[in-house]
Amino acid sequence: MLVNLKQILKEAKAGNYAIGAFNTPNLEILQAVIAAAEETQSPLILNHAQIHEKIAPLDLIGPLMLKLAHESSAEICLHLDHGEDQEYISRAIKIGFTSVMFDGSKLPYQENLDQSKKIVEMAHTQNVSVEAELGRVLRPEGGGVDPAEEDLKAEDYYTDPQKAHDFCQATGIDALAISFGTAHGVYDIEPKLDFNRISLIRQETDIPLVMHGGSGLSDDDFLKAIAAGINKVNYFTYLSLAGGDAVKAMFKQKATLRFDEISECAQLAMQKHAREKMLLFKNNVAGH
């Protein structure tokens, strides 16, 4: 069933667990995470990132995400990930997305605040939740290096707890993406995470906190981040890699494969990977 982000994150915050937000830019990954949510009876956030427009146009995949969310036994929120402009965000809302992220993290503080507030005013009239980002998670969603970030250390962009307090008060957002040492994409070196910063931001704000660049962390890191106050974990790269690794292993057994065999193999591997992460995020370590 289709749900609002605010509603499921409120429950996650009260229960001290996190909900996985998985990017689903193709049919296999979309079906994999929905099946995993149904198997583990977990709430699920389906992310469509604006940067994936080229491989999965919003107007095509959005209505499919909506249909599958309605038909599922799991509680599913449809969320626009890293929305960069009002036009694209409005398109997602029109399709039926119940939540949107406005990513103004590269803008100066005041501009990020003003634009986030504008999106909140527009979205809340339609009962759509809004996530905004303060501080910056390094590297763009979808991989690569942003040339503007080449000489910067992650610490330069960590979220300031006092600013987070002021930002949430002024904008009226429903969830806040924070920066404390994670990065998008594959980790070349082990990330250094500032868990204490999550706790400090938690004390200063009253809304659920979001971790981007989550995939690739150890189970222990996830549990520590969730215990410190993270309630939404954005997850994509390592889920997609799980599909790729399974296909690579299948090619070792058999040199010639049909594409439908490849896609089924990847889907099953991603479903298993998503299942494990959903149980972990719910702190159900025994089931992991």
Give the interface with Zn ion as residue ranges (CB under 5 A). 141, 212, 234
Closest approach of Zn ion to the CB of residue 140, in Å: 9
Q: How far is the CB of 41 from Zn ion (least distance, A)?
A: 26
**Smallest distance, Zn ion to C-beta of residue 177, A:** 7
Q: Report angle CA 101, 107, 108 to the nearest 5 degrees.
A: 130
Q: Which is nearer to Zn ion, 43 or 214 (CB)?
A: 214
Q: Where are the alpha helices (DSSP H) in the chain?
A: 5-15, 27-40, 58-71, 86-95, 109-124, 161-171, 195-204, 219-228, 237-253, 259-281
Residues near 271 by beta carbon (within 8 Å), at least 6 away in sequence: 31, 32, 33, 35, 36, 39
**Residue burial 176-191, b: 16+ Cβ < 10 Å; e: rest:** bbbbbbbbbbeeeeeb
Distance CA 234, CA 127 (A): 22
Nearer to Zn ion, 207 or 265 (CB): 207
As annotated, the active-site residues are 81
CB 287 → Zn ion: shortest distance, Å?
27
Q: Which is nearer to Zn ion, 52 or 212 (CB)?
A: 212
Specify the residue, 39 or 238, whose C-beta has the smaller distance to Zn ion.
238
The residue whose Cβ lies closest to Zn ion is 212
Least Å from the CB of residue 213 to Zn ion: 6
Toward Zn ion, which CB reaches closer, 129 or 234? 234
Q: Which residues of 211-233 are buried (b: 16+ CB within 10 A; e: fewer)?
A: bbbbbbbeeebbbebbebbbbbb
Q: Answer for the pair 30, 6: CB distance below 8 angstroms, yes or no.
A: no
